[in-house]
Structure 1
Amino acid sequence: MSDNKMKYTIDSNMQFPMIEIALETGEFAYIQRGSMVYHNSAVTLNSELNAKGSGIGKLLKAAGRAMTSGESVFITKASSNSDEGLIALAPSTPGQVMALELGQNQYRLNDGAFLALDGSAQYSMVRQSIGRAFFGGQGGLFVMTTEGVGTLLVNAFGSIKKISLENQEITIDNAHVVAWSETLDYDIHLENGFVQSIGTGEGIVNHFQGTGEVYVQSLNIETFAGILKNYIVTDGKSGSSGNALGGIFDALT
């Protein structure tokens, strides 16, 4: 009999992880759009409106969340019609995948951290303050918050480290935050004011306080994107490295 509890394996022999999820008859999982690598004939993929409710109200909620958080209007649901269902996923960025068990502990997620959630759990979008929405990358005016009992798979850019807090506080670069316990208070702000933040190179940070867990990723995708800009050609122009490489190519040809 199906218990709808996620049964998954993470291939530790691969440099970049691939996750296989086994589904029994009637079981389903919500997965990140575009994360499917392969599935067998027992599994069917369908798009659902990314909101609770029904009818036009559900559509308006999904559209509103998409406009205010950057999240898709739709979410992908993988369902199985036999006990042999199998689907494989891979995250959109190279890095570690980790399972977080939901129930007594619930989590909030940064943008891009969600990979999959089993059908016995769910998530909602909780409204943030204007200040948090302005500074943070956590879904704009809304932040993804888990509910129920089940398994959540999160992915990161690089490796994941868990930081446990016991009535403590810590400041973490916003771009390194993956997920954190719902029990923690958090504030998003510039590290040392506008001028000092420019001088030190440390910009928007998250300040967590209380008892719970924070999961951080070792790499910063914003910094990485900035490095790549030097090698991307736009309107016939490229960064300094691109110009140097282009000059060498021209000389050789």
Structure 2
Amino acid sequence: MADNRMKYTISSGQFPFVEIELEAGESAYVQRGSMVYHTPGVSLNTKLNAKGDGVGKLLGAVGRSIVSGESAFITQAISNEPLGRLAIAPSVPGQVITLELGQKQYRLNDGAFLALDGSAFYTMQRQSVGRALFGGQGGFFVMTTEGQGTLLANAFGSIRKITLQNNQITIDNAHVVAWSADLDYDIHLENGFMQSIGTGEGVVNTFRGTGEIYVQSLNVQTFAGVLNPYISTGK
């Protein structure tokens, strides 16, 4: 009997594949564009990435997409065969981690979501204006998990878990992948505007409390800057 809990394997190396097994009737949500292959009995369906029904659901998904940069749609994979297989891969080279949801819930940075089994879900929670202006976590919204299940998140480069025990830490915002929903966080400039320009450290995120933070070794923005001089513009 389908329990909507996906079984999966993650290949090793810097360019991992994730192969998901689904029993008949089971489903999983995956990042749009991440599909590599699937067996004939697995179908992919586009769903509005919002709660509710009818026009209100459509307007909510589109409106949130405009202010957060997150897609208004999500891909749902459903198996119509006894053992369906679906392979997905992240859009950037790096590690894939597993986060078990239930007693623990998490918030995710942009681009970290890869897959979620059908028994769990996520919502987009509104952030304060200050966090929205400085942060890369979805602008005015941040992805927050709910329910019980398994979340697969991907990182750019290697990943490390930092555990806080009623203390605090400051992390470059572009290196943050995911963090415990119980943690308080403050997105701000490191040492003010002029000092941030001088040190090269721009927007940072200070976390406080007890929980987990997952950080990635590479920064997409910095990496793009390194490559930019070698990219021909055709002019």
Shared fold (TM-score greater than 0.5)?
A: yes
In terms of Rg, which structure is larger?
1
Aligned pairs for 1:1-253 (under 5 A) are 1-12=1-12, 14-234=13-233, 236=235
Distance in 2, Cα, partners of 1:235 & 1:66: 32
Count of equivalent residues: 235
Distance apart, 1:15 and its partner CA:
3.7
Distance in 2, Cα, partners of 1:166 & 1:130: 28
Gaps of 5+ in 1: 237-253
Distance in 1, Cα, partners of 2:165 & 2:139: 28
Equivalent position SS for 1:65: helix
Q: Which residue identity is paired with 1:3?
A: D
Distance apart, 1:83 and its partner CA:
1.8
* Structure 1 stretches of 4+ moved >2 Å: none
More strand by share: 2
Distance apart, 1:235 and its partner CA:
5.3
Q: Which residue identity is paired with 1:34?
A: G
Distance in 2, Cα, partners of 1:16 & 1:49: 29
Distance in 1, Cα, partners of 2:150 & 2:233: 42
Distance apart, 1:206 and its partner CA:
0.3
The 8 Å contact of residues 14 and 157 in structure 2, kept in 1 or not, is answered as: no
Partner of residue 239, structure 1: none
Distance apart, 1:64 and its partner CA:
0.7
The 8 Å contact of residues 14 and 95 in structure 2, kept in 1 or not, is answered as: no
Q: CA RMSD in A?
A: 0.8
Equivalent position SS for 1:157: coil
TM-score (ref. length: structure 2): 0.99
TM-score (ref. length: structure 1): 0.92
Cα offsets for 1:78-111 (capped at 9, x unmatched): 0001221100000000000001000000000000
Partner of residue 247, structure 1: none
Identity of aligned residues (%): 73
Q: Which residue identity is paired with 2:144?
A: T
